[in-house]
Structure 1
């Protein structure tokens, strides 16, 4: 082994949480920090070998390219899923500085206060809403200004969309007419309602966790960032984690930690690395010839994801949707608008309008979320090839997902070789409640699409189609056409039960000196997109680690 690096903290994964950790742990200058990232640098001029790919990271609409680009994307594939007609699903995850925050749709959603209060009820002390809100606020620079729920001055810029498409405005009005009232802040005191999404952008460019946290911190002499560094295993002395072995440019290297090793690889890579390191279900590890350090059966289990289904509408001829704006002369005009003013089509996300509603009126809060856009994708290319290509004719999409699925899947290694992707079993729509809610979501989508505010633009319903009417038919449509919303969590769940992987301090059970700080620790999926909560977890995790470092060592 060559090139051993020594530090106080070794972090694996420069994603949404990992960039936060690297910035915060190196901030006071007391500690030497090493950050390992299997992908490359996200800055175009710092990584000329993937200049074009990196340019697409920073132009917001470039997510349509990075979603399928193996230079910046792991492009995992799930096992065939019986709940979705035996289909496999492509799971994009960022393989670059910034991780998935460098390739995502930039939507800023925190979830409901009840989500985090629910974590506390599951034994996650210190993770109730009142505990996590300060960390959401610490991270945030809210362009609308500060209030009890929002803050200014943080690294992560949160902005309104820079353009308001008239069809999107009509869709918000249609939601109101359908019974989902206008509500200006989906991250306010109450989530129920319809409004514009806010985005993690600054001056019309993506504000990933790398842009917000890591790039400024990389100037510090006590922070070392190693790219193209594929972690192979955590190194242990007895039960204590002391470093990480990784491959870089064909050489086997090690980063040794005087303090702690912190995994921030996300819901797929963190459980995979634990299993490769001897921490996981003993039977699985022995099957692959891996010595068991800690027999933790919960590693890789409890996997959850949002499953989204699209109701699509053809708009009347002459209506200018995003489909038309992305073609020919209109696209050239939009490109010029972006170059001159940082506005227009190139600043838009994968959804303009957010709507949250209940599948049943007796629920305490919404259990359905909509991603709504005045555009229609070629669904075959999107779900089978992961290509985001717009259709030529005008269209709009009203896409529901169930916020808190009951179905559970898993992540399990297939080999002791870290370059071999693990088995991902999503297990979508396995639970009857999930089936009921997705059908209710499609009924709500239809109700929105039939309202007067939007009906003036609509020519016909494309999908599910008027021949699809019964609950059974709607469920079958959902099974055959839905896919991931790119929100996997839960595979290293926090808690106190026998399947818990980390405790409320995010320390891995059964070993010492090892934590997991990323979306995999969520015991239950939150009610919305997962980037903002992942950054919050990074902020809170960093505070926990620094607090532990300040504690005197027991005699």
Structure 2
């Protein structure tokens, strides 16, 4: 398994004032792409800083290994939201990757791009060049699609995208039940149309996870012009005369400084990027003053506009076998492990979900506004193991929530975690959609052939019936799908942080390249769009350097 771990070209410590053409902060889904593409020119020096460690943990490379790597401080930042009134004052765990590959090293491997209208909307908001026709080539550029090349998919990119290696009866029944209530079958939600039901594809190859560390960083590791430093947590950016020129970071017990001759690219994600900006004195002046940080550049939108997909998990008991039965007992676990070791098939190849549905929560909508993730198993918490009975999970989320939250530092200490306020279900429209979404989930469960094997609704339970009760159930039983975006939004309005070239407004030499630049969240999982953003940004940076 160790052969699967990516190895960076070098990990030497910098001298006091080491200089590079480009400094990329964060080796996650976007940062690994940036490091690869910018270092393609052998005359260009690139430094990649990663706060986490190497991706040597063998569970990173097993698809179902997210059960072991999420909530593990060795690989996960283990963020926690603040108590949120919209979800009954609960706090949610927000895993984010703290390792080479970032969240692509511990996510659910699901490859979904969103809807073409998402990107057309970005462009209509004034972000030229971000319409669907303009971004599709970058999706194709990164992709190595196992099904072959067509108008929507590429085969020459480094990111492996393949079909699932696991099929189960309960998933087939779920698909047929969705079709029975009028949802069309669609085996490519990333093609011409997203609407429909089908099996997910995953970022995996021959039974192994294909993170951005493996896809993009590993091929670049031998380049002499690429330096990768792990265990290097950025504390702040250095600015002079409205130009970002350096980075101060902590590597183990030593504080170090590096300088960028051309640009600094901030790719630390929807939590890390606004935190680093705020710690550097870039943000809302009143907020920074309150926490004891001198404001050096006013940008009130830093950390605002936080969006996430909130899912309601419905669990149904069944009379037919599910994965709960296959992995519950030690002997069966041994057999599952043996199957994977010899064939790279079976339950250990499981992505976070098997079946997707993109559909409408009610009549009259022009495109899908909800997404289902169906899992052929159930658990209260993955780390605690599956339920001691046969069951499956039908999770549903609103694709384009109206609620907005924020990420804000709480002190001048750059090593202290920021406060995360999602503000889930704070918008009335979101409350309506979540109630309607649960009703759609129940309609599917009541349709043949799925209804024939369901013996009862375990979560939230049949006692929740009225709209008020269903909203209350959503507040009690909802969870994040780990899709935070938007906190350094792209645009030209007063709350925008970057322009359409991803340059930080009012500053030179600094861009943000990650999911935080999304002005509005995409209609689906966010890893593939984040990779696309980095592919496009790399081209923009190269053109500006000519």
TM-score by length of 2: 0.96
Other-structure match for 1:14 = 27
Contiguous gaps of at least 5 residues in structure 1: 45-53, 551-555
Q: After the TM superposition, which parts of structure 1 deviate over 3 Å for at least 4 consecutive aligned residues?
A: 1-4
Q: Report if the CA contact (8 A) 1:34-1:255 is conserved.
A: no
CA distance in 2, matches of 1:145, 1:514: 38
3-state DSSP class of the match of 1:451? coil
Aligned with 1:354 (options 336, 342, 356): 356
CA distance in 1, matches of 2:468, 2:18: 58
CA distance in 2, matches of 1:288, 1:307: 30
Other-structure match for 1:272 = 275
Aligned with 1:512 (options 508, 511, 514): 508
Aligned with 1:38 (options 22, 45, 51): 51
**CA shift digits 1:494-534 (9 cap, x unpaired):** 00100000000000001110000000000000000000000
Other-structure match for 1:244 = 247
Other-structure match for 2:17 = 4
1:400 aligns with 2:402: no
CA distance in 1, matches of 2:235, 2:242: 18
CA distance in 2, matches of 1:334, 1:19: 32
1:298 aligns with 2:294: no
Q: Report if the CA contact (8 A) 2:460-2:477 is conserved.
A: no
Q: Report if the CA contact (8 A) 2:273-2:516 is conserved.
A: yes
Other-structure match for 2:256 = 253
3-state DSSP class of the match of 2:30? helix
3-state DSSP class of the match of 1:453? coil
Q: Report if the CA contact (8 A) 1:321-1:395 is conserved.
A: yes
Other-structure match for 2:494 = 498
- How far residue 2 of structure 1 moved from its aligned partner, in angstroms, is 6.0
Q: Report if the CA contact (8 A) 2:485-2:516 is conserved.
A: yes
- How far residue 388 of structure 1 moved from its aligned partner, in angstroms, is 5.4
Other-structure match for 2:378 = 376
Q: Report if the CA contact (8 A) 2:29-2:101 is conserved.
A: yes
CA distance in 1, matches of 2:438, 2:43: 54
CA distance in 2, matches of 1:204, 1:423: 37
CA distance in 2, matches of 1:444, 1:187: 23
CA distance in 1, matches of 2:167, 2:491: 43
Q: Report if the CA contact (8 A) 1:63-1:103 is conserved.
A: yes
Aligned with 2:434 (options 438, 452, 469): 438
3-state DSSP class of the match of 1:38? coil
- How far residue 255 of structure 1 moved from its aligned partner, in angstroms, is 1.6
Q: Report if the CA contact (8 A) 2:292-2:411 is conserved.
A: no
Other-structure match for 1:331 = 333
- How far residue 227 of structure 1 moved from its aligned partner, in angstroms, is 0.2
Other-structure match for 2:6 = none
Other-structure match for 2:3 = none
- How far residue 254 of structure 1 moved from its aligned partner, in angstroms, is 1.2
CA distance in 2, matches of 1:63, 1:401: 21
1:29 aligns with 2:37: no
Q: Report if the CA contact (8 A) 2:356-2:372 is conserved.
A: yes
Indicate the RMSD between aligned Cα atoms, in angstroms.
Answer: 1.1
CA distance in 1, matches of 2:353, 2:213: 23
Other-structure match for 1:322 = 323
Q: Which sits farther off after the overlay, 461-470 or 24-33? A: 461-470
CA distance in 1, matches of 2:346, 2:384: 19
Other-structure match for 1:220 = 223
CA distance in 1, matches of 2:270, 2:385: 28
CA distance in 2, matches of 1:197, 1:17: 22
CA distance in 1, matches of 2:244, 2:101: 25
How many corresponding residue pairs? 532
Contiguous gaps of at least 5 residues in structure 2: 1-13
1:447-486 alignment runs, 5 A limit: 447-486=443-482
Q: Report if the CA contact (8 A) 1:235-1:277 is conserved.
A: yes
1:90-129 alignment runs, 5 A limit: 90-129=93-132
3-state DSSP class of the match of 1:123? coil
**CA shift digits 1:244-266 (9 cap, x unpaired):** 10000211101210000010000
3-state DSSP class of the match of 2:426? coil
1:131 aligns with 2:134: yes
CA distance in 2, matches of 1:435, 1:289: 37
Q: Report if the CA contact (8 A) 2:76-2:99 is conserved.
A: yes
3-state DSSP class of the match of 2:450? helix
**CA shift digits 1:60-84 (9 cap, x unpaired):** 1111111111100001111110001
Q: Which sits farther off after the overlay, 276-285 or 13-22? A: 276-285
CA distance in 2, matches of 1:329, 1:153: 42
Q: Report if the CA contact (8 A) 2:177-2:448 is conserved.
A: yes
CA distance in 1, matches of 2:295, 2:490: 21
